[in-house]
Structure 1
């Protein structure tokens, strides 16, 4: 007899929470449990997530308050809460539901170094959970088997930041293969507005955003910087120096990252392409044919990352572009992919690999 896995979502009124709910509803082994919110508790789910309102599992429902009591009794609890809010809820779940799988799509449990957390987030560190990037390469390895093994044995998962995923997956093959220098890595990202969250802020209004490109987190201040450096360290880099500049662009979804680094002496484009062939084994990361470049539109709605690279011989650098949907592979899709591994389900279950076009 088929047994379904119940999934509760805390923070289900936001963009990330809504996307997690969409993927759970389409998953063959998962069923949607409690949907909770903070300021929107008691309000109609359909009013905040109208794209889900017609589904029988959502129709007529209202958000419950985000409490341990509402989240208890589920096989999986996904925390789609503001940064700094997950730690307290997770501690309550440890007492009330010690056996459940908890997946945090916020930043609270991503970083290993407590001081890095304090420096970038300004509060006390809540602890470190298993990192929810199944494709993360460990030093000296040509597959991500170790990361998948860690996820398969965990009950606590920290989902990566969306920008972090784009930059890490763009450059890690070159680091793992020892083909690039990491003392001068530059990453510039075009990021859709849903990455800034759903809270009403003046700079997020359509009148402000339409027709305008806006940099933010400039000069090493963005909170994803220590997480990217942490990932590169796992892959084998030391002494990485990263210039990271995200730019909000007037689109709802998507990230297009351009990441460059110096190539070591004697390395050819053929060497670089051979290193990036590591992704041939991956279901969700695809290196495009030579001459074809990623677009964010091609990833909308899909749990895919599209990658391309070029060897800029005159500059002595590799240029890598990566594109993904920040709400799917950048957030909700990574959560489902990781929880699939933790539950012993097929890693690809319930995850779309085709985008929506045009």
Structure 2
């Protein structure tokens, strides 16, 4: 079975990454490739690494150009996907890499994004408890944010097993600059970023906070509150998340650290892309660069009764495009790893 796929936002980082993965997918034919301000340009001018597609011309992002395909990827700015998605046929698999359809709480959307809530679609993070079943046969999928992908994979197993307290979760993530998109910004130019790190969205103001809380709350079966601080790292791609939570008192009493670790080992035992590293080995962003893989490690700080989980992903691959293609594969009944067999890149 071969399917036709259209990709919007193809001149940006997320859209370009979707195309990179689809170009090697054995069951995909790439149809319309669209953009907004770059419509009419040759793709190779803007994405020179996509050699097999370099002569393709970018079309205008419109319902007319996107319709007629089996699958449509919307790699558009937040708030831009909903109007187009609403006009695409119900039988088309629409995969939104933006935030428009991720949140279940309309008030949280309006607070953090400042516009009307467009509704909620199945969430494209299949490794969460029960999520893979919701993606099978779906025709609308919301791709998670890159920070939430790393944070949820780091802590969901502990909450799903009732091991962690819901009111004292602290997450700090370092991300490469590609997470901010391709538009020119002074704070992202080389002179500002090289040799420097800086926080942003401090004090609960980052838009991914409600998405992280939503996912952990669903895993825990009760509301989870999160203090999330993102930081900008001097690298082009990758996320390293350090997530900590208090271990429940009844668990901490006489805790066997191996039993705590086993909860994560059990959760991810059969997952093709998630790797709980051997004890003593800690994740690095370089080890997963360019791949859909996730590297995890955990420790227990008995002094304060907290579990610490470190998680490394590539923000453009597993954090966006890879998660989108993985979800497409599940929805259509393909091999889940199709088009996603890339290993990390080193050095």
User: 1:251-289: CA deviations, max 9, x gaps?
Assistant: 001000000111122233122111011211111111000
Do residues 240 (structure 1) and 240 (structure 2) align? no
Structure 2 gaps, min length 5 = none
Give the alignment partner of residue 90 of structure 1, picking from 85, 90, 102: 85
Give the alignment partner of residue 305 of structure 2, picking from 313, 316, 325: 316
Displacement, 1:214? Answer: 1.4
Displacement, 1:160? Answer: 0.2
Distance 1:34 1:353 in 2: 25
Displacement, 1:59? Answer: 3.1
Distance 2:225 2:32 in 1: 43
Aligned to 1:147: 131
Distance 2:154 2:256 in 1: 18
Aligned to 2:29: 31
Secondary structure at the aligned position of 1:131 is classed as: coil
Aligned to 1:68: 63
Do residues 131 (structure 1) and 119 (structure 2) align? no
Do residues 270 (structure 1) and 258 (structure 2) align? yes
Aligned to 2:323: 334
User: 1:276-315: CA deviations, max 9, x gaps?
Assistant: 1121111111100000000000000110110000011112
**Equivalent residue runs for 1:271-310 within 5 Å:** 271-277=259-265, 278-310=267-299
Distance 2:262 2:192 in 1: 44
Distance 2:56 2:164 in 1: 52
Give the alignment partner of residue 344 of structure 1, picking from 316, 323, 333: 333
- Output the TM-score relative to the length of structure 1: 0.94
Distance 1:274 1:177 in 2: 11
Give the alignment partner of residue 7 of structure 2, picking from 6, 9, 31: 9
Displacement, 1:223? Answer: 0.5
Secondary structure at the aligned position of 2:49 is classed as: helix
User: 1:235-256: CA deviations, max 9, x gaps?
Assistant: 1242322110010001001000
Distance 2:136 2:314 in 1: 25
Distance 1:331 1:172 in 2: 19
User: 1:15-44: CA deviations, max 9, x gaps?
Assistant: 000000000000111111111000111111
Do residues 325 (structure 1) and 325 (structure 2) align? no
Distance 2:83 2:329 in 1: 25
Distance 1:98 1:311 in 2: 47
Do residues 200 (structure 1) and 184 (structure 2) align? yes
| Contact persistence 1:268–1:311 (CA under 8 A) | no
Shift >4 Å, 4+ stretches: none
Secondary structure at the aligned position of 2:78 is classed as: coil
Distance 1:246 1:163 in 2: 8
- Output the TM-score relative to the length of structure 2: 0.97
Displacement, 1:85? Answer: 0.2
| Contact persistence 2:295–2:312 (CA under 8 A) | yes
| Contact persistence 2:316–2:322 (CA under 8 A) | yes
Aligned to 1:105: 97
Aligned to 1:214: 198
Structure 1 gaps, min length 5 = 138-145
**Equivalent residue runs for 1:53-64 within 5 Å:** 54-55=51-52, 58-64=53-59
Distance 2:54 2:151 in 1: 38
Displacement, 1:86? Answer: 0.2
Secondary structure at the aligned position of 1:26 is classed as: coil
Distance 1:239 1:347 in 2: 31
User: 1:59-101: CA deviations, max 9, x gaps?
Assistant: 32211000011111110000000000001111121xxx33110
